[in-house]
Every structure is written in C-alpha cells, then in structure tokens.
C-alpha cells in the first residue's frame, strides 16, 4: 500500500495543471459519452463522487480535504470511500445526463464537464485547487445554480473562473523563447527561472530539467519532453516523498529516489485520498489525546490553586474555637441584632478583639455557629489536605504523560490505563459518546464510577476499570457495579474513601432503604465474567466486606 509509513501523517501536494492533464489523458476516453448515474457529496470527507456508466462503471472522485485533497478517475470498484457518513445529493438534475465532453482550462487546474441532460446543455466545473477547491453546477448560460463551497457569493451569478498568473505555456517552449528568457534574467538561477515563468512547473521538475542541460536547446527539448509525457500514457508514474508531502512525476526527479512506481496517476491520487485516511485518523487521534491531557492538566492545576486557598482558610479553624470560648465568657452581653462584639482577647497579646456576629442569631446560637465552624474546619482541613496530596500526584503524572505524548507518541501509550475513564481502551472518548456510568467524587476528590444498567455494569467494570483499582457491589443484592478510579497507579485509598465508595454502592442497590448494608469490595483483577452469564453478573475473589449506610455521592 502506498505511501510507506515513514512519517506520521501523509499530506498530498496540490495537483499541478500537468497532473490534471495526465489524469484526463488516462481516463477521459473511458468516460466520454457515458451516463451519469449518481452524484454523491460527503460533507465531512469533503469529497464528491460522480458515478458514470459507459462500457463499465467509473467514478470521478474529487476531494478538497485539508489533509488528502486530490482528484482521480477509476473504475467504481476501486474508488469507494471508506466512510459510514451518509452522502448528500448534489446537482440531481445531472443524474441520467450524458457526458458530451470533459475539458481542462489550458494551463489551469480547472476542468469543465459538459452534460446533455434531457436536451439541456448543463455544466459541472471542478476547481482542483487543493483544500480551497470547489465543485460548481452551471446552467445552459453558465450561471451558477449550486456549489459545494462559497455558495452565497456566487450562486445565481455568471461563473467567473479564477485568473491565471502571467506565465508561459510550456508547449511553446522553443529554443528562441528559452534563450530570450535566459538573456533577460541572467541574474536568476535557471531552475528558479523555469519554475517562475512556465505554467505547471515546480522547483523539483525544473531542477531535473536543468540537470539534463543548461543551454537553450537542452532546456527546450526537456520541457517539451515532459509536456509530452503528461499528455500521453507513455511510461509509469513515480511517487516521491518530498518535505513531508507525496508528489508524482512521469519522470525520475534529480536528487530523489522514488518510493513507488505506479501504472497511473489516478492510482496514486486514490492512495492519497483513500488509503492514507487511516493515517489522517491516527493524527486526529494523536491531537485529541494531547488536547485531552492538556485540558485535564490545566483543570488539575486550577484545582490545586483553589485547594491551597481553601487550606489556608481552613487552617484557622482553631481560631473559631477561641471565638466560641470568648463569647461564652461574655454571653450576658450578647443580644440578637448585634453584628459584632469587642472583648478582651485572652489568646493573643492584643488587648481586644472584634468578633463578627450573625445579627439574626441569639448569643448561644452564635456560640454554636463558631463551634460548628471549628468542627467543620478541623474535619475539612484533613479532607482538603488529602485532596491536595492526590491532585499534586496527578499533576506530576499528567505533566509526564503530556511530555511523552508530544515527543514519543507510540511509546507514550502506556499512559492510557491511568487516563481512564475519559480515555477508554486506548482511545479518547468523545464528550457526546454515551457513557455506561455516572461519575461522582468522594469528599477527597477521588472519582467513583457507578454503572447504570446490567450491560452498563459490565462495560464500567471491564472497559473502564484498571486491574489494581477497587471494585464495589452490595453483598447478595442486585445493584450497580462501582469502581474507584485511582488518580495515579501508586494511589492507596484511605478508609474514609473506601467507606464513601461503598456507601455509593449501597445507595445504587435494591437495599437503598436499609439503615446498614454490607458491601463487598476487591481489586478489579479479581472480578470475572462467567461464560454466557447474564448482563451484570460476575464472580469475585479475595473480597472484603464493609458495613455502611447507603449514601449518594455528589
């Protein structure tokens, strides 16, 4: 299969006017007088396929995709796009029409297909200019009826082809013309001179001409020889990889070795558009993965910043207890409606302290308010510290993963297990993809997945859990599979985190109404699916049991 996998993504070079000439030379005889039996437009693929029936079925395929733009004419069986996308109709009136002619605008990358449709002479113009290409449907007066791109500015107006740059027609490259050109541009390197002044020539084609001789006679002869090769079917087409792009020539290019020899230019274009699609998808997959890791890293860094601020605030919980004690001493002075009270500070060197009060509360209620804030702060500081520890470890892991994905994507795929659940089975999951679980967080920020249905339970367990992660299920009772996702491989869940995940499993079971529910848990590697077992039915080994109150996580 062409092209060889020497780089990650294969991008085709834009067609030259010579390339289009060669493709038409290869196939125009096969499709002339043929009947158009269908036009299919694939919006996501940015491709138009025109099916033609003559002695056999043919397809004109035109793509203006950013990574795999091109044009080829081949038997329909060799031209099928590998896509599940449903095609859209385009220029329906042309279906059933007969191809009268197919002509290329001289020296340009535009072809015009003249079609006899029920006695009307209609036209289909293909602008084969890479990602900016277009297909335009014209009526008998060559007014634009429809187009695939740039619709509003041109539809309903006379078709205006793009103007060509001021260059020379290579078919008129006589020795006298070349001699004059060389004389008038003596300061310009001959290769650049040919590239700049003749239609259809790129630098490498021009360089090959100069390598065969620098005098006017040799240059003229080489140019006309190349023009002849493009206009005929003499000799093979050679494929090259130059500066990350795939290019085709009917001659051997100076300074490069061909990577493939093809029977036709259409076959080379077919390989670019169809066979290299997998590489394009691989590149998109790479970009999606890197983007996912970057977003997750930024999210974790934002969370770390917030946790640091929350920890600084929670660290003052001892002060709340002091406020409660000072208010008890001065209880008799506290009245509802007071916004604050200033009292001697027995805990610090300052002589007095102003304690804020809730004016809606009584004295005892304000004391209890500060006592609650003390208890909550003490417990919250422990949880926040635990969350910060988990986030710090996750940031280190994500930074390492991102560096590996950007610099050595293939080897970096060992990071995928720790990137679940948003990357499942080694592939990033789209945000629109239905997930088989509901996602929750423990008070310390650990992710917990709760399966939705029986079949969803199986997917949650066997597609989204790693062997070392904990799996939970209410004992001897129908319920959801619950998985605790580890923020990193060396994570060790605390007793509180295990209890919260178990409580979520109890809540997601038929025993939700009980005051206490036994919940079994074990590592996922000890969970097995018996053959022909019903959805959600598994066997477990080395399990432990914890008694918890059912509680839904937030």
* Residue range 136-141: mean pLDDT, rounded: 94
DSSP 130-194: GGG-EEEEE-TT-BEEEESSSHHHHTTSB--PPPPPS-B-GGG--HHHHHHHHHHTTTS-HHHHH
The answer to whether residue 425 scores a pLDDT higher than 60 is no
Q: What is the pTM of this model?
A: 0.52
Q: Indicate the range of 183-187, 314-318, 537-541 predicted with least confidence.
A: 314-318
pLDDT digits (tens, 9 = 90+) for 321-367: 888 889 999 999 999 999 999 998 888 776 888 999 999 999 999 99
Token pair 């290329």 in the structure block, residue = 104
Instruction: Name the range with the highest mean pLDDT among 68-82, 250-264, 398-412.
Output: 250-264
DSSP 434-499: PPSEEEEE-TT--EEEEE-SHHHHHHHHHHH--TTSEEEEETTS-B--EEE--SSTT----HHHHH
The SS3 of residue 544 is strand
pLDDT digits (tens, 9 = 90+) for 477-499: 999 999 999 877 778 899 999 99
According to DSSP, the β-strands at 35-42 and 88-89 are: antiparallel
CATH code reported for the domain at 281-417: 1.10.287
Per-residue confidence (pLDDT) for residue 411, from 0 to 100? 56
532-to-471, 524, 527, 529, 536 alpha-carbon distances in Å: 22, 20, 15, 9, 11
The answer to whether residue 501 scores a pLDDT higher than 50 is yes
Looking at domain 11-154, which CATH architecture does it have? Roll (2.30)
The answer to whether residue 421 scores a pLDDT higher than 50 is no
Would you list the domain boundaries of the chain? 11-154, 170-278, 281-417, 434-548
Instruction: Name the range with the highest mean pLDDT among 53-67, 211-225, 417-431.
Output: 211-225
Q: Indicate the range of 54-58, 173-177, 372-376 predicted with least confidence.
A: 372-376
| Per-residue pLDDT band at 545 (split at 50, 70, 90) | very high
* Residue range 32-45: mean pLDDT, rounded: 90
The answer to whether residue 27 scores a pLDDT higher than 50 is yes
pLDDT digits (tens, 9 = 90+) for 144-191: 999 988 777 788 899 998 888 899 999 999 999 999 999 999 889 999
């Amino acid at each position: 299969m062409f092209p060889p996998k020497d780089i990650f993504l294969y991008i085709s070079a834009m067609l030259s006017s010579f390339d289009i000439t060669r493709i038409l030379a290869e196939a125009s005889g096969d499709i002339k007088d043929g009947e158009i039996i269908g036009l299919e437009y694939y919006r996501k693929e940015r491709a138009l396929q025109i099916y033609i029936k003559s002695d056999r079925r043919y397809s004109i395929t035109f793509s203006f995709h950013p990574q795999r733009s091109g044009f080829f004419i081949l038997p329909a069986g060799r031209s099928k796009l590998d896509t599940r996308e449903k095609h859209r109709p385009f220029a329906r009136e042309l279906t059933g029409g007969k191809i009268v002619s197919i002509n290329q605008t001289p020296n340009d990358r535009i072809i015009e297909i003249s079609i006899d449709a029920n006695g009307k002479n209609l036209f289909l113009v293909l602008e084969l200019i890479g990602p900016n290409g277009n297909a335009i449907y014209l009526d008998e007066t060559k007014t634009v009826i429809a187009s695939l791109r740039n619709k509003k500015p041109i539809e309903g107006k006379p078709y205006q082809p793009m103007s060509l740059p001021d260059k020379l027609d290579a078919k008129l490259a006589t020795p006298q013309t070349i001699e004059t050109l060389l004389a008038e541009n003596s300061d310009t390197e001959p290769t650049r001179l040919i590239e700049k002044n003749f239609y259809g020539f790129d630098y490498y084609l021009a360089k090959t001409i100069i390598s065969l001789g620098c005098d006017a006679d040799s240059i003229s002869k080489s140019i006309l020889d190349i023009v002849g090769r493009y206009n005929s079917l003499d000799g093979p087409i050679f494929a090259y990889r130059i500066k990350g792009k795939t290019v085709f020539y009917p001659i051997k290019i100076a300074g490069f070795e061909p990577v493939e020899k093809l029977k036709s230019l259409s076959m080379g274009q077919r390989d670019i558009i169809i066979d290299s699609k997998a590489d394009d998808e691989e590149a998109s997959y790479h970009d999606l993965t890197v983007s996912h890791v970057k977003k997750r890293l930024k999210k974790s860094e934002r969370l770390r910043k917030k946790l640091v601020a929350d920890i600084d605030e929670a660290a003052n919980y001892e002060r709340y207890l002091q406020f409660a004690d000072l208010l008890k001493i001065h209880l008799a002075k506290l009245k509802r409606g007071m916004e604050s009270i200033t009292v001697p500070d027995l805990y610090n060197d300052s002589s007095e302290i102003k304690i804020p009060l809730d004016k809606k509360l009584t004295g005892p209620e304000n004391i209890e308010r500060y006592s609650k804030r003390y208890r909550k702060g003490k417990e919250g500081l422990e949880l926040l510290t635990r969350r910060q520890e988990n986030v710090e470890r996750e940031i280190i892991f994500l930074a390492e993963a991102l560096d590996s994905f950007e610099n050595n994507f293939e080897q970096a795929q060992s990071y995928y297990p720790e990137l679940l659940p948003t990357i499942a089975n080694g592939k990033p999951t789209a945000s629109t993809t239905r997930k088989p679980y509901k996602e929750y967080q423990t008070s310390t920020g650990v992710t917990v997945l709760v399966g939705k249905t029986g079949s969803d339970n199986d997917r949650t367990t066997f597609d989204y859990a790693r062997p070392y992660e904990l799996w939970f299920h209410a004992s001897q009772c129908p319920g959801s599979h619950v998985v605790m996702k580890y923020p990193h491989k060396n994570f060790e869940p605390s007793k509180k985190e295990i209890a919260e995940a178990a409580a979520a499993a109890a809540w997601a079971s038929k025993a939700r109404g009980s005051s206490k529910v036994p919940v079994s848990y074990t590592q996922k590697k000890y969970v097995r699916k018996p053959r022909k077992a019903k959805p959600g039915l598994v066997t477990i080994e080395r399990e432990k049991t914890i008694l918890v109150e059912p509680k839904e996580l937030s």
